Amino acid sequence: MKAGVLALQGDFREHARAFADAGATPVEVRTPEHLVDVDCLAIPGGESTTISRLARAYGLVEPIRERARAGMPILGTCAGLITLAERVIGGEPLFGLLDVTVRRNAYGRQVDSFEVDLDVEGIDHPVRGVFIRAPRVEEVGQGVRVLASHEGAPVVVAQGSVVAAAFHPELVGETGLHRYVLGLVAGR
């Protein structure tokens, strides 16, 4: 199975490693042509404004939207969640594939970073979440399932085959969400 990783900016290498550890063949996606052959896609953490600017510049926005609407599973972490959201407080939406409102950098500055183990629906072990200048999901639409919460706020959400987390599991070698998304591919 080929697992794409949007490789424009951010921690895409860590996502590629997580997919490889989960048994998939990672493919770095930088152009619409790279996107054609992948079975799923991870949108990494990083700087959402930069990822958005580069995705537009490389003509990736519509192809990613089209593949998602056709059922391709997508995983977004941290900045990836921001790019997937329909509404962004303090920023502009990019892909608009998740009926959520997110607030950028809501968990504080870099010095406020923390790690926590989370129970995520559909994953049989605690998922280690690394929160670094993380977005907060402020509101979820009716079609969105909350798969995990932390201190009352949703931190993993899913709508159809789009899954997003407010944190970085990939930074600590956590593959639970990557395996979850690969399972969505297998179930199609």
Q: What is the Cα–Cα distance from 2 to 178, expressed in whole angstroms?
A: 12
Q: Considering 14, 15, 40, 170, which one is annotated as catalytic?
A: 170
Backbone angles phi, psi at 4, to 5 degrees: -80, 150
User: Do the beta carbons of residue 45 and residue 72 sit within 8 Å?
Assistant: no
Q: Enter the DSSP assignment of 176.
A: H
Selecting among 15, 34, 150, 168, the annotated active-site residue is: 168
Which of the following is catalytic: 40, 78, 174, 178?
A: 78
The amino acid at 48: S
Helix (H, G, I), strand (E, B) or coil at 30: coil
- Is 40 annotated in the active site? no
87 token code pair? 């509404």
Contact of 51 with 168, CB cutoff 8 Å: no
Residue 129 near residue 136, CB atoms below 8 Å: no
Q: Could you confirm whether 34 is annotated as catalytic?
A: no
Is 78 one of the annotated active-site residues of the chain?
yes
Give the whole-angstrom CA distance, residue 89 versus residue 14: 27
| Residues sharing a CB contact under 8 Å with residue 134, sequence separation 6 or more, in sequence order | 78, 105, 106, 107, 166, 167
Q: Which residues are catalytic?
A: 78, 168, 170
